Amino acid sequence: MSEEFKVEIVNPEKSFLVKDDVSEVVVPAFEGEMGILKDHISIISFLKPGIIKILSKSGDENYYVEDGIVEFKNNNLSILTSTIFNLADMDKSKQQDLLKQAEEEANKTDINDQSKYLADQKVEVLKTLN
Amino acid sequence: MASLDDLKKRIASVKSTQKITKAMKMVAAAKLRRAQESAEKGRPYSEKMNNVILNLSNGISDKENAPKLLSGTGQEKTHLCVVMTSDRGLCGGFNSNIIKKAKSYFGKILDEGKELKIITVGSKGNDQLKRVYGDKIIENISFKESKNANYFDADKVGKMVIEKFEAEEFDVCTIFYNQFKNVITQIPQAQQIIPLNNEGEEKGSEESYEFEPDEDEILSNLLPKNISTQIFKAMLENSASEQGSRMSAMDNATRNAGEMVDKLTIEYNRSRQAAITKELIEIISGAESL
């Protein structure tokens, strides 16, 4: 029996990525990183800024996301996100831009704790990339 | 009867109008293809979003304490209507259809003695509504600068709606847009987004999910996103409808101009012949009298 399952990443504009030979996906869930293997229990969770790692036979891929929802059901993993970038396509200047934006947001004082936490996360993740 | 010169001028003017409408039709056709494509590509996201919310709201144990965006404020006193139209005209009945639908809804609400607030998206809707409902319009947004519907714009509208909801400025929110069916048919829609209208709730799967963190927290995170998603979906449908509507309107205009040119050409030829005949008669009768 194969140990592969299907993953689908959708953003509002289009279906971003569909892969059906995935062996493991690591998502930055809100309460910590979560690795998903085949036959995982059905789960719904949402994402914080971080890196999605997709491990498959045809090679590993890394994506940077800022938010989103994951749903896993019947060996189908759907990830809905509004902001996603493939790390392989992302150059330094783009990363710097995002980092600058995130830092600006994190330094705002008039935001609530949750957005502050998310902005801090963004900064942290982006810094590790650089 | 108009002189030959006048007729000639009119034919030339109708012909140049026809050229413009023809060009507009072509442009609309090209844009329509793109808009339709992005509308189709955008569907999976909103469908999946809906599915997840359905599953979540089925799984929620404590309906009483459900987030207000889902269950409503418990009253229906103030209605907020988001009327989405285009920024440009010359697109047939596209804008009028939305406005008509919206106006009949407004009338119903005001008749029931409820309060009405309007947000217009797109300048054409604002133009048509401000005469009658000018005092009810609280916000007017237009995205003239952005070429295509994009999520960023939709998110702006969504955030504004949520802000107003949290400030308890309204109880029920409805969006008005044209749903794209095909090039000749666009259906004006009124869709209630707050509180979420769960029609066909039974469709949700019975499988139980594990939630992390718990349902309430996910829901309160998800629902605002869903508002933006629904608005984005409406924007995509709207832009496809606008182009479709413009295309068929311009097609009609081009055909009408063609008919008009034919008619004018016949009239021109007739008067030309009449003038020649008249001249001949004059010459012949002049020769006869000699």
* Mutation target among A6, A80, A113 for the B interface, most CBs of B within 10 A: A80
Using CB atoms, pick whichever of A12, A73, A78 lies closest to residue B151.
Answer: A12
Q: What pLDDT score does B274 carry?
A: 93
Q: What pLDDT score does B207 carry?
A: 63
CATH number at residue A44: 2.60.15.10
b/e string for B246-264 if b means 16 or more Cβ within 10 A?
bbbbbbebbeebeebbeeb
A76 with A21, same domain? yes
Pick the catalytic residue: B53, B83, B91, B129? B91
Using CB atoms, pick whichever of B46, B51, B209 lies closest to residue A43.
Answer: B209
A82 with A101, same domain? no
Distance from CA of A12 to the nearest CA of B (A): 5
Span B2-6, average pLDDT? 85
Q: What pLDDT score does A13 carry?
A: 81
Span B37-62, average pLDDT? 79
B112 touches chain A (CB under 8 A): no
Phi, psi dihedrals of residue A41, rounded to the nearest 5°: -70, 150
Distance from CA of A46 to the nearest CA of B (A): 7
b/e string for A50-71 if b means 16 or more Cβ within 10 A?
bbbbbebeeeebebbbbbbbbb
A38 with A78, same domain? yes
Is a pLDDT exceeding 70 seen at residue B31?
Answer: yes
Alpha carbon distance B216, B223 (integer Å): 10
Alpha carbon distance B163, B159 (integer Å): 6
B29 versus A3: the higher-pLDDT residue is: B29
Is a pLDDT exceeding 70 seen at residue B217?
Answer: yes
A20 with A82, same domain? yes
Cβ contacts of B261 within 8 Å, gap of 6 or more = B11, B14, B15, B18
Q: What is the pTM of this model?
A: 0.84
A44 with A69, same domain? yes
Provide the total of helices (H) and of strands (E) in chain A, helices listed first: 2, 9
Q: What pLDDT score does B64 carry?
A: 62
Counting the structural domains of chain A, the total is 2
Distances A5 to A54, A69, A76 between C-alpha atoms, Å: 11, 18, 7
Nearest residue in B to A11, CA atom: B45
Residues 22-81 of B with CB under 8 A from A: 38, 41-42, 44-46, 48-49, 51-52, 55-56
**Token output for A114:** 């949750």
Q: What pLDDT score does B75 carry?
A: 80
Is a pLDDT exceeding 70 seen at residue B63?
Answer: no
Cβ contacts of B15 within 8 Å, gap of 6 or more = B257, B261
B239 versus B1: the higher-pLDDT residue is: B239
Q: Give residue ranges of A with CB < 8 Å to any B CB.
A: 8, 10-15, 29-31, 34, 41-46, 67, 69, 71, 73, 78, 80, 82
How wide is the angle at C-alpha A34 spanned by C-alphas A113 and B230, nearest 5°? 60
Is a pLDDT exceeding 90 seen at residue B29?
Answer: yes
Q: What pLDDT score does B206 carry?
A: 57
A24 with A81, same domain? yes
Taking contacts as CB-CB distances below 8 angstroms, the residues of chain A near B48 are 10, 71, 78, 80
Range of the domain at A100: 91-129
- Distance between alpha carbon A130 and the CA centroid of its chain, in Å? 17
How wide is the angle at C-alpha B98 spanned by C-alphas B96 and B100, nearest 5°? 65
A62 with A124, same domain? no
A44 with A75, same domain? yes
Is a pLDDT exceeding 70 seen at residue B200?
Answer: no
Nearest residue in A to B150, CA atom: A13
Is a pLDDT exceeding 80 seen at residue B151?
Answer: yes
User: Quick check: B160 and B139 in contact, CB under 8 A?
Assistant: yes
Q: What pLDDT score does A32 carry?
A: 85
What mean pLDDT value characterizes chain B? 86
Distance from CA of A31 to the nearest CA of B (A): 7
A65 with A37, same domain? yes
Active site residue B91: yes
Span of A52-56, A92-96, B5-9, B130-134 with lowest mean pLDDT: A92-96
Using CB atoms, pick whichever of B41, B211, B228 lies closest to residue A14.
Answer: B41
Contact B212 A78 (CB under 8 A): no
Contact A42 B211 (CB under 8 A): no
B210 versus B186: the higher-pLDDT residue is: B186
Please identify every stretch of chain A with a pLDDT value under 50, giving residue numbers as ranges: 1
Provide the 3-class DSSP secondary structure of residue A124: helix
What is the distance in angstroms between the CA of the first residue and the CA of the last residue of chain A? 40
Q: What pLDDT score does B271 carry?
A: 93
Is a pLDDT exceeding 80 seen at residue B93?
Answer: yes
- Distance between alpha carbon A79 and the CA centroid of its chain, in Å? 8
Q: What pLDDT score does B65 carry?
A: 65
Taking contacts as CB-CB distances below 8 angstroms, the residues of chain A near B206 are none
Q: What is the 3-state secondary structure (H, E, C) of chain B?
A: CCCHHHHHHHHHHHHHHHHHHHHHHHHHHHHHHHHHHHHHHHHHHHHHHHHHHHHHHHHCCCCCCCCHHHHCCCCCCEEEEEEECCCCCCCCCHHHHHHHHHHHHHHHHHHCCCEEEEEEECHHHHHHHHHHHHHHEEEEECCCCCCCCCHHHHHHHHHHHHHHHHCCCCCEEEEEEEEECCCCCEEEEEEEEECCCCCCHHHCCCCCCEEECCHHHHHHHHHHHHHHHHHHHHHHHHHHHHHHHHHHHHHHHHHHHHHHHHHHHHHHHHHHHHHHHHHHHHHHHHHHCC
User: Quick check: B93 and B66 in contact, CB under 8 A?
Assistant: no
Phi, psi dihedrals of residue A8, rounded to the nearest 5°: -135, 125
Q: What pLDDT score does B60 carry?
A: 67
Strand partners, B191: B175
A13 with A68, same domain? yes
Span B206-224, average pLDDT? 77
Q: What pLDDT score does B102 carry?
A: 92
User: Quick check: B124 and B86 in contact, CB under 8 A?
Assistant: yes
Is a pLDDT exceeding 90 seen at residue B260?
Answer: yes
Contact B222 A78 (CB under 8 A): no
Span of B28-42, B190-204, B264-278 with lowest mean pLDDT: B190-204
pLDDT band at B255 (very low <50, low <70, confident <90, very high): very high
A77 with A95, same domain? no
Please state which CATH class domain B42-249 belongs to.
alpha beta
Is a pLDDT exceeding 90 seen at residue B278?
Answer: yes
Distances A6 to A62, A78, A84, B183 between C-alpha atoms, Å: 16, 9, 19, 36
Alpha carbon distance B49, B230 (integer Å): 9
A57 with A117, same domain? no
Provide the 3-class DSSP secondary structure of residue A60: coil
Domain boundary assignment for chain B: 42-249
pLDDT band at B1 (very low <50, low <70, confident <90, very high): low
Alpha carbon distance B251, A6 (integer Å): 45
